[in-house]
Amino acid sequence: MKVREIMTTRVVTVAEDTLVADIAAMLRGHRISAVPVLDTAGAVVGLVSEYDLLARQGATARDVMTREVITATEDTDVEQVRHLLVERRIRRVPVLAGLRLAGIVSRSDVIALLTTEWACQVCGQTERGPHPPPRCPTCDADKDRFAQQAPPPAADAPRQTAGPDSRRHRPWTRRRTVPSPTHRHRRRVRTRRCCAVTTGRWP
C-alpha cells in the first residue's frame, strides 16, 4: 500500500513569517500538533510543532521551526513510513510531490489501517486498509464485492445490563398513622417520596 492512499491532503500550513502566537492559535483551533512551513515557492522548508513552540524562543515560524524535516513521497510504502514513525519517534511525515507539499501522514492515519477491515462477500477473504483491494486475492472477485466490517467493541467498553437503574424511576406513596390534635382518633395521611430509600427515620 502506498502513502497516497492514506495521507491527508488538506494540510494546514504556515509561511516563514507567520507569528508564533498565530501558529499557537492555529494548532489549538484545528486540534493538530504541528504545521509544515512553506516558502514563497510552496516548498517545505520546516515544521513547527507544539514542542518547538515550548522549547524555542522566537517571533516567527522561521525562528522556531525544525529545519531538518523527514519527508516521504506519494509512492512510499506505508510500511516504510511506519518504520520512520517508530525509529525516529516522530508523529507525522510530510508527503512531497517533487518539492511541493502533497499531503501529510500521521500516526493516526497508519493506526487506522489496523481497524479498517474489508471482507469479500464471495469467499470471506478479509483485507485491511482504508479502501478495499482492486480484486480479491483468493477468488479474484471485484472490489465491489467487498464490504467494510464493523470494528469490534473495545475490551473495556461498558456493557448495557438490565437492573434497577435501567427502569424508569417512579415516585411512590407510603401511608403512616399520626395522632390527631385531640389524641382520641387516628387519621391516615399520604406522604410522597421520590425514591425508595431514605436516610431519616419516620417520627
Domains recognised in the chain with CATH numbers: 3-112 (3.10.580.10), 115-149 (no CATH)
Which residues are CB-neighbours of 10 under 8 A, at least 6 positions away?
A: none
DSSP helix/strand/coil, 112 = helix
C-alpha distances out from residue 34 to 3, 53, 69, 90, 106, Å: 19, 10, 12, 11, 10
Which cell goes with 68? 531538518
DSSP 196: S
pLDDT at 153: 54
pLDDT score at 152: 57
pLDDT for 114: 75
Sign of CA dihedral 33, 37, 68, 52: negative
Burial class (CB in 10 A: 0-12, 13-18, 19+), 109: buried
**Among residues 68, 92, 74, 73, which one has the least CA distance to residue 82?**
92
Local confidence pLDDT in tens for the 203 residues of the chain = 789 988 999 999 999 999 999 999 999 999 999 999 999 999 999 999 999 999 999 999 999 999 999 999 999 999 899 999 999 999 999 999 988 999 999 998 888 877 788 899 999 998 877 678 889 999 999 989 999 886 555 444 444 444 444 444 445 445 555 555 555 555 554 545 554 444 445 44
Instruction: Say how far apart CA 21 and CA 14 lie, in whole Å.
Output: 12
CA 182 to chain centre: 71
User: What is the predicted pLDDT for the residue at 162?
Assistant: 45
From residue 200, alpha-carbon distances to 2, 134, 171, 179, 191 in Å are 69, 71, 17, 20, 14
Scored b (16 or more CB within 10 A) or e, 114-151 reads eebbbbbeeeebebeeeebbeebeeeebeeebbeeeee
CA angle, 179 as apex, 174 and 183 as ends, to 5°?
A: 165
